């Protein structure tokens, strides 16, 4: 009976997941991701944020008050596999219904993206982060927690702002289940690299009556991290491929330029 109930819940979960993965109409990216430029600048351990356009993405963007609804990690050649077309699987991500998988960079060619890079990772720590993500491939997405899936069918639930992040945390305690940003947060937690930790400030007075302040960092539970946290974190650089690969505004051609102005701009 238990096995049958679990199978039934999985089936219901898969149907809900398929509905949540349905694209929302009207999505238009500001700029398509330049895959060639991304390949030039991405480094293993970089977090790639994506603005999704399906129903669950709309809900996540609302709950986190952010542009970004999904996160993946670039792992370089660590997966060691390619697509049938020969493209390298260089991203590790968690998708609704699929669980933790490896994907090619071209998957997000038609999406708004952003690169977030941890500052000055040592080679050893970079390898630990990447190895954790690659070893997580195959982990399942929690399909049995139906109540966790149902919350995303209300893209604008009437809840106070301070409670919205809590709606993202999945209730399952099964360590083989994960969501996109929480798995990446776990990876950085392994090397104690900060994302958006809680900061407790202590004020003490020494013998000279001078006030001293000490900041104590506390790691938040990984299930409470959202994709936008890597964007907001003061410990991650924002890398923009167009600028990193060389950009000269003087070489741009604008639609309202005359032929003479275009010639002078090109010269």
Question: Got the DSSP string for 32-70?
Answer: ---HHHHHHH--TT-EEEE---BHHHHHHHHHHTSS--E
pLDDT value of position 171 = 47
Instruction: State yes or no: pLDDT of 1 exceeds 50.
Output: no
Main-chain dihedrals φ then ψ at residue 167, nearest 5 degrees: -70, -15
**Domain 2-262 architecture:** Alpha-Beta Complex (3.90)
* Whether the predicted pLDDT of 122 surpasses 70: yes
Q: Is 239 helix (H, G, I), strand (E, B) or coil?
A: strand
Q: Which of 99, 46, 101 is CA-nearest to residue 75?
A: 46
pLDDT at 199: 61
Residue 114 has pLDDT above 70, yes or no: yes
- pLDDT, tens only, 212-259: 444 444 456 666 788 889 999 999 999 999 888 888 888 888 887 665
pLDDT band, residue 205 (cuts 50/70/90): low
pLDDT at res. 215: 43
Mean pLDDT of 71-76: 96
- The Cα 181–Cα 247 span in angstroms is 31
Arithmetic mean of pLDDT, 261-266: 55
- Selected residue with higher pLDDT from 91 and 24: 91
What does the mean pLDDT of the chain come to?
77
| pLDDT for the residue numbered 20 | 66
CA-CA distances (angstroms) from residue 148 to 46, 56, 134? 28, 12, 26
Q: Across residues 56-67, what is the average pLDDT?
A: 75
The reported pLDDT for the residue numbered 36 is 87
Q: What is the mean pLDDT of residues 16-36?
A: 68
How many CA atoms does the CB half-sphere of 134 hold within 13 Å? Answer: 18
Return the pLDDT at 255.
81
* Cβ pair 116, 49 in contact under 8 A: yes
**What are the residues facing 174 on neighbouring strands?**
none
pLDDT of residue 193: 95
Of 81-85, 145-149, 245-249, the poorest mean pLDDT is in 145-149
pTM of the model: 0.75
**Domain residue ranges in the chain:** 2-262
pLDDT at 190: 94
Please report the pLDDT score of residue 242 as a whole number. Answer: 86
Asked whether residue 166 carries a pLDDT value surpassing 80, the answer given is no
| Model pLDDT, residue 67 | 84
Per-residue confidence band for 180, with pLDDT thresholds at 50, 70 and 90: confident
């Amino acid at each position: 009976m238990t096995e049958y109930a679990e199978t039934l819940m999985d089936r219901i979960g898969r149907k809900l997941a398929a509905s949540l993965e349905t694209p929302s109409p009207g999505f238009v990216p500001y700029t398509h991701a330049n895959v060639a430029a991304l390949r030039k600048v991405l480094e293993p351990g970089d977090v790639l944020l994506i603005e999704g356009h399906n129903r669950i993405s709309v809900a996540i963007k609302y709950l986190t008050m952010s542009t970004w609804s999904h996160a993946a990690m670039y792992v370089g050649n660590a997966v060691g596999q390619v697509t049938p077309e020969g493209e390298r699987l260089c991203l590790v991500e968690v998708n609704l219904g699929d669980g933790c998988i490896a994907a090619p960079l071209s998957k997000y060619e038609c999406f708004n993206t952003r690169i977030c890079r941890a500052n000055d990772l040592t080679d050893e720590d970079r390898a630990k982060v990447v190895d954790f993500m690659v070893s997580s491939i195959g982990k399942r997405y929690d399909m049995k927690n139906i109540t966790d899936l149902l919350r995303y069918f209300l893209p604008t639930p009437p809840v106070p702002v301070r409670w919205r992040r809590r709606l993202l945390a999945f209730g399952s305690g099964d360590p083989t289940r994960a969501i996109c940003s929480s798995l990446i947060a776990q990876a950085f937690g392994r090397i104690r690299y900060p994302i958006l930790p809680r900061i407790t400030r202590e004020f003490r007075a020494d013998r000279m009556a001078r006030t001293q302040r000490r900041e104590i960092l506390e790691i938040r539970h990984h299930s409470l991290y959202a994709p936008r946290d890597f964007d907001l974190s003061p410990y991650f650089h924002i890398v923009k491929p167009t600028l990193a690969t060389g950009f000269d505004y003087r070489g741009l051609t604008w639609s309202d330029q005359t032929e003479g102005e275009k010639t002078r701009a090109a010269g």
